[in-house]
Structure 1
Amino acid sequence: FEWCKEAARTYSYGGGVGTDISILRPKGAPVHNAALQSTGSVSFMNVMSETTGTIGQSGRRGALMITIRVDHPDVFDFIRVKRDLRSVRYANISVRVTDEFMRAVEEDKEFTLWYENEVVGRLERKIRARELWRELVQSARDWAEPGLIFWDTVKRGSPSEYNGMEVVTTNPCSEQPLQAYGACDLGSINLSAFVVDEFTEGARVDWEGLERAVRYSVRFLDDVLDYNMGRHPLKEQEEASRTSRRIGLGVTGLADMLAKLRIKYDSEEALDFVDEFFNRFKCVAYDASIELAKEKGAFPLFDAEKHLSMPFIRTLPSELREKIARFGLRNVAVLTVPPVGSGSVLVGTSSGIEPIFAFSYTRRSESLSKEYFKVYHPLVGEYIKRFGLKDESALPDYFVEAHRINPEFRVKMQGTIQKHIDSAISSTVNLPSDITVEEVEKIYMLAWKSGCKGITVYREGSREGVLITEEAKSSEKTEQSQSGDAGVGSPRKNWVRPRVLSGQTIKFRLPQGSIYITVNGDEEGIKEVFVNLGKSGSDEKSYSEAIGRLISRYLQHGGDVRDVIKSLKGIHGKTSTWDQGVQLLSVPDAIAKALELISGQEVPVRRTTGEQPQASPAEKGDAAASRTKAFSDDVVGVSVCPSCGEETLVYENGCYTCKTCAYTKCE
C-alpha cells in the first residue's frame, strides 16, 4: 500500500505509472499472517487500478501499466483478469515475454512457471508453452489485452543496463522502458514538415532543416529535465531523472511524409526508406547528445566502457562511438516513438508511425441548414484541392488507409524502425472483426522475429463486443428461468413469448446517424422494443440496445408503456434535431417519441416545408462549426468521443484519440 501512496502522489502531479507485479507471491503461497496463504499478485491489481481511477487530472484520470513475467505462476489469472468488465478498469496490462518462452512455443515444449524467495522457497509448475500462448493470443483477439512486451529484446536493446539504471517495466503506453522511479521526458518532430518539392518526382527530405530540428529538440528535452528539478512528485523520481537524464525524442507524421515523397506506405520501398531514414535520424540525435555532454557534462552515472558495450550503442558509426568514449553522453537514452494522439490532431498529421487512419469522414453543419459535407484528412484535402481531384477515389496509389494495409506489413514496419530506437515504440495493429486466432498468432510471432520490443493488437469491436456478449448471455439465462426476484411494476406476469409477434419499425435521423426503433406486441400491448443505432460493436449501439432490452423486460413484467414514455421523453442530449416534423432531443427522447407514435398518442410537431436537407459539397460547409456524422462506412473501429460527442474516436497507437477535439485516453 506504499505503492498506492506513491502512485496517488504521482497522479496528482499529472503523471502516469508503470509497475511490474512479478515480485508478488503467487496465489496459494504461504504467508506469515492471519491469511496463511497469499491471495496472489493479481488480487492487488484492482487496488492499483482504483487508486488510478480515483485521482483526477483536470477531468481525466491517471494512466497505469501493469506487467507480469510470462513465467510467473499467476500469469493465467493475469491474462483473464480484465474479462470481468468491472475489474482493473483503469490500467493497461501486458505480459513480459521471454525468448525462452517463444522458442518453447515454436518447438511445442514444456515451460516452467516459477516463483522464488527466502520465505516460500521455490514454487514450480510445468505447462505446455502453447497452452499459455493460445491463452495470450485468444485474449488479445477477443479483449484487446494483454499486450506483449518482448522483454529479452527490450533488455538487449536498452543502453542503460548498468549502474542501477536497468529497466524494470514501461510507462503506460509502453514506448518507454524505465528504471525504477524513472521518468518520461518525451517530445516528437513532425516529419511531414520536412519534405521539399512534395508530390513531385524530385520530392526529397529536407535534411538540413530536419537535422537542425533534431538538435534543437534534444537540447530542449534536456533543458526540460533541469526545469523539472524540484518539481517531481517523489524524490526518488527526481534522483533517477538527475542521474540518468533519460529523454525520448520521437516522430509523428511518418505516413504523411511518405505520401509527400510518393512512397506507398505498404511497400518494400517504404521499408528501405525508413531503415535508412531512421538510421540517419538516430545518428543525428546521438551526436546532439554528445555535443551537449561536451558543453554541460555527461549524465552522472555514465560509464564509457559499460555504455559502449551495449548492443544498441554498437550499431552507431565508429566516429560516434569514439566521440562517446571521449566526451560521454548527456542522456542515457535518447529516442522513442510515443503515440502522439492529441499532438497529431493539433498539427493535422498522421499519428506517430501509423498509416493514415481514414481519408475522410462526413460532418453535419450545426447551422440551420443541417447540411452534410466531407472533412478530409488534412494532407488528403490539400492534395485534392491542389490537383483539382473530384474526391479521394482519384488519389494516387501512394495514399493508403490503415484498414487496407496487411497487418503483417505493419509489424515489419515497426520492426524496421525499432532497430534505430533505443527505447521502444507505441503502436497498435488494427485488425478486422473476422480475423482468426491463427492469424493473430502469426502477427505476434512475426513481431518477435522482427525485433519489435512490444506488440498490441486491436480487433474491431473487441472491447465493446464483450459488453454485448456478456449482456446477451445474461439475457439468455434470464429468459430460460421464470423464477427469481420480482420485477419492476405491478404485479409481475410470467409472459411467454409466442413464436410470432406483430410490430412496427420507425426510423429517425439523429446527429449520430439513423436510429431504427422496432416495437412488437400482443393483444395486451407493447412487449418488445429493439433499438438499433450505429455500427456493430460501437458504444452507441451497445447503449441503445441496452435501453431497448431494459424497456422490454419492464413491459414483460407488467410495466406500463406510459411510464416508459414519461421517463424518457424530454431527456436532452448535446444537440437536438428535427426529422419529419418530430423534434428529437436525444436517443432516449427518440425512443419515447417512437413509442408515442406507435401507441397512438400525439407527438408535438412543427410545420415543415420540403424534404430533409441533402448532402452538400465540402466547400459549402464550415468545418469549425460542424458536427460529426461518421467516417466512411468501410473504416473500422470508430466510436463516439466522450468529450465532444463526435463520432471520430479511433483506437490507434495503443490509445483512443478523437480526430475532432484531440481528446485522448490510453487504456
Structure 2
Amino acid sequence: MQKQETLNKTPKIYSQEEAYKASLKYFNNDDLAARVWVNKYALKDSTGNIYELTPDDMHKRIAKEIARIEKKYPNPLSENKIYQLIKKFKYIVPQGGPMAGIGNPYQIASLSNCFVIGNEGDSDSYGGIMKIDQEQVQLMKRRGGVGHDLSHIRPKGSAVKNSALTSTGLVPFMERYSNSTREVAQDGRRGALMLSVSINHPDAEDFIDAKMEQGKITGANVSVKIDDEFMKAVEKNEKYIQKFPVNSNTPKATNEIEAQNLWKKIVHNAWQSAEPGILFWDTIIRESVPDCYADLGYKTISTNPCGEIPLCPYDSCRLLAINLFSYVENPFTDKAMFNFNLFKEHVAYAQRIMDDIIDLELEKIDSILAKIDSDPEEDEVKRVEKNLWLNIRKKAHEGRRTGIGITAEGDMLASLSMRYGSKKANEFSVKVHKTIALEAYRASVNAAKERGSFLMYDSEREKNNPFILRLREADEKLYYEMLEHGRRNIALLTIAPTGTTSLMTQTTSGIEPVFLPVYKRRRKVNPNDKDVRVDFVDEVGDSWEEYLVFHHGFKQWMDVKGYSVSKSYTDEEIEKLIKSSPYYKATSNDVDWISKVQLQGEVQKWVDHSISVTINLPNDVSEELVGNLYMEAWKSGCKGVTVYRDGSRSGVLVSHKKEDKKNKEMLTSFPVKRPQVLEADVVRFQNNREKWIAFIGLIDNKPYEIFTGLSDDEDGILIPRWVNEGLIIKNKEEDGTSRYDFQFKNKRGYKTTIEGLSHKFNPEFWNYAKLISSTLRHGMPIEKVVDLINSLQLDNESINTWKNGVARALKRYVADGTVAKGQKCENCNSTNLIYQEGCLTCKDCGSSKCG
C-alpha cells in the first residue's frame, strides 16, 4: 500500500529561483557552484520544471538507484552507506552523465561520458564516412562526448572510383564532423568531439594546419597520434616515411618527409593556438590492458574529447572522481596527515559503485533501444542508430570498463604543506596514485569473486602487459588472486579534467595545481544604486565593479592561520598573504613545467587509461621550450600532452594585480587603403526563415570588410552551395565609381566571376556594410564591432534582420575566450559571458547561444 502511494505521489516542482537560493545556502554562498548545479545537474524535465531543491536531493536519488543495483549481488551496500560516501561531494563524486542521469525518468540519455566510434577495418568509403557522421550525431544527442580517428581516409589526390576521380583528403571531412558537432544541442551546451590522425598519414600536415584558419573546425579538438619512430627521427634529424594505409606493409602511397620540419609545425601551432594535442600512440598501445584483447574487438583507435580515455570502436566509459582533499586530516596545520586507511577503503567502494553504474548504463541503453523501436520512422531510417547502440551495449556488457579518477590534487598537497611540483610533492602524488591502482584492481578482483569476471578475461593474454607487470611487482598476492579469480573490469582508471565537478567539490581541478589562489571577477552595476563601487567604465559606457574571489582552499588556510576573509585587502597585502601560504609558487603558471611533465609520466605508470593535463605557460615562452616539453613528455612515459600558452586563447579570469599598460590589447594594424584583391570567406545563414549570405574580405585571415544580403532569391545573389571561399576584386565602373566583384573557381578549376556585389544587394544594406567595413579596416576588435552592430537602433524590420546577420557572420571571427562585455546570460542573468566558437557562452551556467 505504501509503495502504491509513493508511485502515485506527484513530485514537487521548484522554481529556478527556489532551487538557486537553497543551493546557494548549501554551498555556503558560492554563487558559481550553486548556478552550475541548478543548471546542469538538478533533476528537471524537458519543459524546465525542477524536481530537486539542493544537491542533497540528487545524492539521495543516486544512492537509491545504486542501492537497487547492489541488491542484485551478494553482500549489498545499503542505500545509507552509499549516501554517506557521496553526500556533500566530500568523498566519492560521480561525474557528468552519471550525476545528471542516474535515476532521471525525464531524459532518455546515456550515463557514459565518453565514446569512440569507427568502422570495422579501414573503410573510407563515402558510406562509411557518412555512417560515422550519423553515429556521432546520435551519440551527442544523448549527451555523450565522442572521438574518432581519420587515419583510414585516403590522402588528398588518391584515385577514387567515382565522378570526383581523386580524393579530397582529410580536411573536408574534419569540417563535416565539426559542423555536425555544432548542430547538436545538449541542454545548454554543445557536443564535444575529438578528431585524431596518425602522423604516418600523408595528409597529417593538412590535419595539423586545419584549425589554424580562424572559423574552421571550431567544433572539434584535434590530436596527432605520434609513433616512436617519428620521435626518434626528430631526435636524430632524419627523414620519416608516411604511408597509406598507415599500418600497411604494402602501402598504396608513400611520402618521405623531414621529420623535424613537421615537428616544428606541430610545435608552432600548439604554441600559437594550443592545438593540436599530442598522443604518444605507441606508448598508449604498449601500456593498454584492453589491447591485450585487440583481436576480439578491443583495439584502441582514438580517445574521448579530452584525451583521458583511449577507446576501441563503440566502447564507452563513465567517470567518477575521488576528492583527495577530504582524506587530509587537520589540513594546513602542523598535524596534517593523509588518512591512507580510509582512502583505501573508499577506493574499493568507488570501484564497486562504478561497476554498479555499468548496470545502470545497460538499463539506459535498453531504454534508448526501446525508444528507437517505438519511433515512427521506417526501420531503414533507424538502422544506423539502432546498430550503434547495440554495439555500445555489447562492449559495455563484455568489458565493463570503468573510469575512476581524482580531483583536488593541488589542494591535497597544499594542505599537507607540500609545494606542487616539488620533488617531495611529486613523490607523494605517485604514492597516492599507486594506492588507487592497487586498491581499485583489488576491488575489481573481489567483485569478480562475487559477480564474475568480464567475459573475455584471459590471464595469458595479459601476462606481458607493462601495467599488469607493475601491479605484480607491487603486490604479488593481488596478482595471483587475479590469476585465480579474474577481474570484473577490463580497465579501471583515468584522470579526467573535473571542471564543473571541482566547482561543486570547491577544490582544485583534477591533477592540476590551483589556477590562482586569489583573483578578481567583475560584475556590471548600476552607478546610481546606493553602496555601489564603480571600479571602471568600459568602452560602451557600462559600469563595472571588481571583487576579490578567494580559492576555497586558500580561504581555509587563511582561517586556520587567523586571517579574516571578509577584510578588504590591498594588492600588496594579498601578495604578502600568498607568499606566506602553501599555494605560493604553486599555481598553474608557477609550477616548473619539466617537473609537471615528469610528474605526469610517473603517475601515468599507475593509470591504465590516460591523464588529461594541461601545461600552462606564460605568454613569452619560446616555441623551442614547447618542443622540449613535448620531447620530455615522450621520454617520461606520458600518453599525451597539451600545452596552453597564456594569451594564445583569451581568458576570462583577471589577475588581482593592476594591469600593465604595455599588456593592454593593441588595435590591429590594417592598411587603410584597400588592396584591389582580397581573399574572402562566404558564410550562409538563416534569419527569420530567410536565406542570407555574407562575403567577408580578409587580410591576414582577419575581417577587413563585409557585404551581406539575401541569397537564393530573385532579389538576391545566387552562387553554388559548395562555394565557401573566393576573392573580392575592386574594379572601376565606366562612370568612375567602384564595383566589387566576387570570383571563385568552379569544380573544374575554371574561374567564375559574379560582377557587382553592390548591385546585387539592397542599397541600404550596402551603405550600412560600408560603415561597418570602415570600423573593421581601422582596427576595431571584432567583438567591439559586434557590440556596435547590436547596439544599432533600427526601425525597419528588414534592416534589423540584416543587422543580426552581420553580427552572426562576424562572431565567427571572435577569438575563443574573448569576454563579451555588457551582455547578460538569458539563462542565469550572469554577465560572465565569453565568445566560444562564434557563440556566446556563459561561464557560470554553461548555456550557449549562437546567432
- TM-score w.r.t. structure 1 length? 0.74
CA distance in structure 1 between the aligned counterparts of 2:181 and 2:776, rounded to whole angstroms: 37
Are 1:22 and 2:151 matched, yes or no? Answer: yes
What does 1:157-196 correspond to in 2, within 5 Å? 157-161=287-291, 162=293, 163-196=296-329
1:308 CA displacement: 3.2
Determine the C-alpha separation between the residues in 2 that align with 1:66 and 1:412: 26
1:339 to 2:525 alignment: no
Q: Is 1:267 the counterpart of 2:422 in the alignment? A: yes
2:604 to 394, 398, 418: 418
- How far 1:310 sits from its partner (Å)? 1.4
Letter in 2 for 1:451: G
Rounded to whole Å, the distance in 2 between the matches of 1:325 and 1:487 is: 68
Shift of 1:208: 2.3
Shift of residue 131, structure 1, vs aligned partner: 0.7
Q: Deviations over 1:339-367 (max 9, x none)?
A: 01000011100000101001122346767
The answer to whether 1:479 aligns with 2:676 is no
Q: For residue 142 of structure 2, what is the aligned residue in structure 1?
A: 13
Q: 1:320 to 1:74 in 2, by over 3 A?
A: same
* SS of corresponding position for 2:559: helix
**Which stretch of structure 1 is more off in the superposition, 188-197 or 206-215?**
206-215
Counterpart contact for 2:557–2:581, Cα < 8 Å: no
Q: Distance in 2 between matches of 1:266 and 1:532?
A: 46
Hey, what does 1:393 align to over in structure 2? Answer: 576
In the superposition, relative to structure 1, how do residues 204 and 566 fare at CA in structure 2: closer, same or farther (>3 Å)? same
Q: CA contact under 8 A between 1:345 and 1:660: conserved in structure 2?
A: no
Question: Structure 1's 413 and 663: CA in aligned 2 closer, same or farther, altered over 3 A?
Answer: farther
Alignment of 1:273-312 (within 5 A): 273-312=428-467
Cα distance in 1 for partners of 2:622, 2:786 equals: 31
| 1:364-513 map, 5 Å | 368-371=530-533, 372-389=546-563, 391=574, 393-395=576-578, 396-399=580-583, 400-463=586-649, 472=668, 475-476=670-671, 479-481=673-675
Q: Partner of 1:403: helix, strand, or coil? A: coil
**SS of residue matched to 2:343:** helix
After superposition, give the CA deviation of every residue in 1:428-459 in whole Å (9 maximum; x if it has no partner): 11121221110111111011111110001111
Tell me: CA distance 1:436–1:332, structure 2 relative to 1, closer, same or farther (3 Å): same
Query: Which amino acid is 1:176 matched to?
Result: I
Which of 67, 85, 102 is matched with 2:214 structurally?
Answer: 85
Listed one character per residue, the Cα deviations across residues 65-98 of structure 1 (whole Å, up to 9, x for unaligned) are 0000001000010001111222211100000000
Which amino acid is 1:215 matched to?
A
Aligned-residue offset at 1:291: 0.7
2:783/2:820 contact within 8 Å kept: no
Distance 1:664 1:214 in 2: 36
Shift of 1:121: 5.2
CA distance in 2, matches of 1:325, 1:91: 41
CA distance in 1: counterparts of 2:285 and 2:835, whole angstroms: 32
AA in 1 matched with 2:201: H
- How much is the aligned-residue C-alpha RMSD, in angstroms? 3.8
Q: Deviations over 1:187-217 (max 9, x none)?
A: 1011011101212233211122212221111
The question of whether the paired residues in 2 share the 8 Å contact of 1:638 and 1:647 is answered with: no
2:161 alignment partner AA: H
Q: Distance between the aligned counterparts of 1:421 and 1:650, measured in 2?
A: 35
Corresponding residue of 1:211: 344
Q: How big is the shift at 1:55? A: 1.4
CA distance in structure 2 between the partners assigned to 1:657 and 1:295 by the alignment: 47
Contact 2:190 2:848 in 1 (8 A): no
Aligned partner of residue 17 in structure 1, secondary structure: strand
Cα distance in 1 between the residues matched to 2:464 and 2:598: 27
Distance in 2, Cα, partners of 1:225 & 1:382: 37
| Selected match of 2:409 from 243, 254, 265 | 254
Give unpaired runs (5+ residues) of structure 2: 1-129, 369-388, 534-545, 564-572, 652-663, 679-696, 698-704, 709-734, 739-772, 796-806, 808-816
What CA distance in whole angstroms lies between the structure 1 residues aligned with 2:319 and 2:819? 28
Provide the rounded CA distance (Å) in 1 between the counterparts of 2:178 and 2:521: 36
Give the match for residue 610 of structure 1. none
Specify the code of the residue in structure 2 equivalent to 1:159: V
Gap change, CA 1:420 and 1:650, over 3 Å in 2: farther
Asked if the contact 2:188–2:847 (Cα under 8 Å) also holds between the matched residues in 1, the reply is no
* One-letter identity of the residue aligned with 1:393: K
Residue in 1 that maps onto 2:256:
126
Give the superposition deviation at 1:564. Answer: 8.5
The letter of the residue matching 1:129 is A
Deviation digits for residues 507-562 of structure 1 (CA, Å, limit 9, x no counterpart): xxxxxxxxxxxxxxxxxxxx9979999xxxxxxx94444459x89xxxxxxxxxxx
Q: After TM superposition, give the deviation of residue 231 of structure 1 in Å.
A: 2.7
> Structure 1 residues 54, 313: closer, same or farther in 2, change over 3 A?
same
SS for the counterpart of 1:49 is helix
What is the rounded CA distance, in whole Å, between the counterparts of 2:707 and 2:460 in structure 1? 75
8 Å Cα contact 1:175/1:425 also seen in 2: yes
Note closer, same or farther for the CA distance 1:483–1:353 as it changes in structure 2 (3 Å cut): closer
Contact 1:173–1:426 (Cα < 8 Å) also in 2: yes
Counting matched residue pairs gives 540
2:356 counterpart (220, 223, 244): 223
Question: In the alignment, is the contact (CA less than 8 A) between 2:222 and 2:276 conserved in 1?
Answer: yes
Q: What percent identity do the matched residue pairs reach?
A: 35
Q: Distance in 1 between matches of 2:395 and 2:174?
A: 25
CA distance in 2, matches of 1:254, 1:492: 69
Q: Is the 8 A contact 1:203 1:261 kept in 2?
A: yes
2:266 is matched with 136
Q: Give, as a single letter, the amino acid of the residue that structure 2 aligns with 1:133.
A: W
Q: 2:178 aligns with which of 49, 65, 82?
A: 49
2 CA distance for matches of 1:350 and 1:309? 36
User: TM-score under structure 2 normalisation?
Assistant: 0.58
Equivalent-residue separation in structure 2 for 1:265 and 1:423 (angstroms): 23
Structure 1 residues 276-332: Cα deviation after superposition (integer angstroms, max 9, x where no partner): 221112111111111111110000111121123311011012111101101111111
1:188 match: secondary structure? strand
Equivalent in 263, 279, 282 of residue 152 of structure 1: 282
Q: Quick one: which amino acid aligns to residue 182 of structure 1? A: D
Rate the CA distance shift 1:216–1:650 in 2: closer, same or farther, 3 A: farther
Query: 1:532, 1:545 within 8 Å by CA — same for their partners in 2?
Result: no
Greater mean deviation of Cα atoms: 144-153 or 191-200: 191-200
Decide whether aligned partners of structure 1 residues 89 and 662 sit closer, same or farther in structure 2, where only a CA change above 3 A counts: closer
The alpha-carbon deviation at position 482 of structure 1 amounts to 6.9
TM-superposed CA distance for 1:373, in Å, is: 3.5
